[in-house]
Structure 1
Amino acid sequence: MLDQRDRTLLDLLQQDASLPITDLAEHTALSVSACWRRVKRMEEEGLISRRVALVDRRKANVPTTVFVGVRTARHSMDWLESFRSAIADIPEIVEAYRMTGEIDYLLRLIVPDVQAYDAVYKQLISRLDFTDISSFIAMEELKFTTAIPTRYA
């Protein structure tokens, strides 16, 4: 069970994982060693799964976000594993979800432009059969965060 100091630490680290332990300790009114132990415990328990650098998509020349809804007539474990394998080595696919409702899978792609998306589309259809693939190009990013709410932890 997390207390308010743990939640504060998580909030701070989600905003900037490079914050020195001394700054984290100061913001949580903990000693440096107590703060370090809390962060270490959350890492060991898997609550903090990793620390990463967030790259500016525009500066990395991948400003276009495409959401792709995938439908398939096959709902076997073999097909699912083939699909998982097909998308695993396509770096433009940054998120993938198995869904309920009208679509079976939802993908989020980050690409430089529509031509790059088309190349990914062709990779996918060359590997597997689909009933339908529907693409939705994001016009404007209204909100983006990697931070999860900590009030439920």
Structure 2
Amino acid sequence: MPNLEIDEIDRKIIAALQSDGKITVNELAETIGLSASPCARRVRLLEQAGIIKGYAAIIDQKKVGLPISAFASIKMERQREDALERFSKAVARWPEVVDCYLMTGQRDYLLRIVVKDLEAYEQFLADKLTRLDGVASIETSFALKQVKRSEVLPIT
């Protein structure tokens, strides 16, 4: 589907859904000042355009036994397309990696890895990350405290 030009009503819909993804269409329509049918149609168009990619519960990682967030900076031996593609495909299969970014600067990738303890991180390194061809170096930092986390984009 081609890019959808979003207007002020779409922005209100997006803001409301980012705030509460479980809101009903009727509640959403009332919140943004639109009737239910056009509101539902707009939500469907936003979904079809890929602007709304899905809906998910936000889970407290500590309360489910995964208190450790490790940030691994990866330097590749070479930045060849096939090596980058191989790395990306491998990382996509690993549930411990919750975020992965191809970066500019000194490092090629930045990963956020969520695990239950340091031993689990060490196991992840030994069994997965260090076994990937093309990885030249790995630098890891551990988060001491989460100051802010948000899935809400500043759409204005």
Please tell me the TM-score bracket, short chain as reference: over 0.9
Contiguous gaps of at least 5 residues in structure 1: none
Q: State the aligned residue count.
A: 151
Name 1:150's counterpart in structure 2: 155
Q: What's the offset of the Cα at 1:131?
A: 2.0
Give the counterpart of 1:7 among 8, 11, 22: 11
Distance 1:36 1:85 in 2: 36
1:127 partner letter: L
Residues 4-153 of structure 1: matches in 2 within 5 Å?
A: 4-122=8-126, 123-151=128-156
Q: What's the offset of the Cα at 1:8?
A: 1.3
1:110 partner letter: V
SS in 1 for 2:12: helix
Distance 2:38 2:99 in 1: 36
Q: CA RMSD in A?
A: 1.2
Q: TM-score, normalised by structure 2?
A: 0.91
Choose 100-109 or 75-84, whichever is displaced more: 75-84
1:91 partner letter: P
Distance 1:90 1:29 in 2: 43
1:107 partner letter: L
Q: What's the offset of the Cα at 1:129?
A: 4.1
Contact 1:90–1:120 (8 Å) recurs in 2:
no
Distance 1:51 1:64 in 2: 25
Q: TM-score, normalised by structure 1?
A: 0.92
Contact 1:65–1:138 (8 Å) recurs in 2:
yes
Distance 1:127 1:24 in 2: 46
Identity of aligned residues (%): 34
Q: What's the offset of the Cα at 1:3?
A: 2.3
Q: What's the offset of the Cα at 1:25?
A: 0.7
SS in 2 for 1:88: helix
Q: What's the offset of the Cα at 1:127?
A: 2.7
